[in-house]
Amino acid sequence: MDRDELLHWLRTEDRGALAELWARADSVRQAHVGPAVHLRGLIEISNRCTRRCAYCGINATNHHIARYDMPDTAILACVDRAIELGYGTVVLQAGESPLWSRDRVAALIASIKRRAELAVTLSLGEQDRETLRCWRDAGADRYLLRFETSDPELYARIHPREPGAPDRLEILGWIKDLGYEAGGGVMIGIPGQTWDTLANDLTTFERLDLDMIGIGPFIPHPDTPLGHDPTAWRAPVRDQVPSDEALVYRALALARLLCPHANIPSTTALATINHRAGRELGLQRGANVLMPNLTPTHYRAMYDIYPAKHGLTADTPYDSQHLRTRIHTIGRTIATGPGSRNHRSPPSPRRSH
């Protein structure tokens, strides 16, 4: 698909054309990754962060939140819960903090891997190559690091760089070299993000041949520079990409068409802007993964990367039975096992003779 075609799909308001896009994404999803939805249990192990990302509510300059580190015993209790629920993967996510040292995280990964045949995904921000190698050696299988936007100037504005720190795209290269499954992704509707940039974001997914792609709406957080005064950051009106639900689905569907074998979650941020149906619509427009939040409720409220994060209360639709019913209601099944990226398509249910 060339750029003009991508831009056409991103910008079209034509209902018939959109229905065609959803149908194409859904059939490519079915043909390449099948009907099964993979459940990845998310554990938000700490909200400490030394970085100053202008979009993120747990950035170091936000003094309105209390900071926490989950003790290993609490993390392992969540892992046991994931095992009990039959999930094949746990995802450890946090800000960047020296308290989560190379050795501490390596020991944690090793103890998770000793407990069960679970895949371990890390989402622990920017790390040096040796640290990534050590965690891979300890047993980590996958690493999520969204590059947030493919526009270097916009990226530099929203993501102040530490002196000498490598770029996220460079780190994604290391992640792949080290044999992790690599996940990238972007937010949609970042003030200053243009249509051209968004088309580039999509072709970047394809160029990097990502195993996992996370796409969600940008949700302003009032205690961040970007959320406090978004108009100061906006691109000229005609160029500015809106942070709206419809556009997230379009980007998701196009990511599926460009990267047919990738594991693509229907993200929590999407469920946050549409509690009622966002999760299912994501699954019906290209996604094949959900990331139920297993973080204990009292920590969850402090993991405040954007406001009103879906599933903040104990009464969460991620309640296991409810979630299963919702997946079955849209005609899908629940995957078992780790659910790694499969480069081959699942066998066709029809016989060839």
Which residues of the shown chain bind ligand SAH in the complex (CB under 6 A)? 55-56, 93, 95-96, 123, 125, 145-146, 148, 187, 216, 218-219, 221, 269, 305-306
Residue closer to ligand SAH by CB (options 215, 235) is: 215
Q: How far is the CB of 302 from ligand SAH (least distance, A)?
A: 13
**Phi and psi, residue 210, nearest 5°:** -70, 145
Q: How far is the CB of 292 from ligand SAH (least distance, A)?
A: 16
Residue closer to ligand SAH by CB (options 221, 279) is: 221
Q: How far is the CB of 224 from ligand SAH (least distance, A)?
A: 7
> Nearest-5° angle of CA 97, CA 99, CA 102?
90
Residue with tokens 């640290």: 131
* Distance, CA of 241 to CA of 189 (rounded, Å): 5
Q: How far is the CB of 115 from ligand SAH (least distance, A)?
A: 23
Residue closer to ligand SAH by CB (options 120, 145) is: 145
Residue closer to ligand SAH by CB (options 25, 269) is: 269
| DSSP structure class, residue 52 | -
> Nearest-5° angle of CA 259, CA 262, CA 266?
105
Cβ distance 310 to 275 under 8 Å? yes
For the range 144-147, what are the long-range contacts, defined as Cβ-Cβ under 8 Å and sequence gap of 24 or more?
144/91, 144/93, 144/183, 144/184, 144/185, 144/212, 144/214, 145/171, 145/172, 145/175, 145/182, 145/183, 145/184, 146/183, 146/184, 146/185, 146/186, 146/187, 146/214, 147/172, 147/184, 147/185, 147/186, 147/204
Cα 184 to chain centroid, rounded: 8
Q: How far is the CB of 268 from ligand SAH (least distance, A)?
A: 9
Residue with tokens 């003790």: 71
Residue closer to ligand SAH by CB (options 21, 105) is: 105
Strands 333-334, 36-46: pairing kind: parallel
Q: How far is the CB of 46 from ligand SAH (least distance, A)?
A: 10
Residue closer to ligand SAH by CB (options 21, 219) is: 219
Residue with tokens 């209601």: 329
Question: Can you list the positions of beta strands (E) in the chain?
Answer: 36-46, 89-94, 119-123, 142-144, 181-188, 212-217, 289-290, 333-334
Cβ distance 91 to 293 under 8 Å? no
The residues that bridge with 39 in the sheet, in sequence order, are: 290
Q: How far is the CB of 74 from ligand SAH (least distance, A)?
A: 19
Residue closer to ligand SAH by CB (options 299, 306) is: 306
Q: How far is the CB of 56 from ligand SAH (least distance, A)?
A: 4
Residue closer to ligand SAH by CB (options 282, 335) is: 282
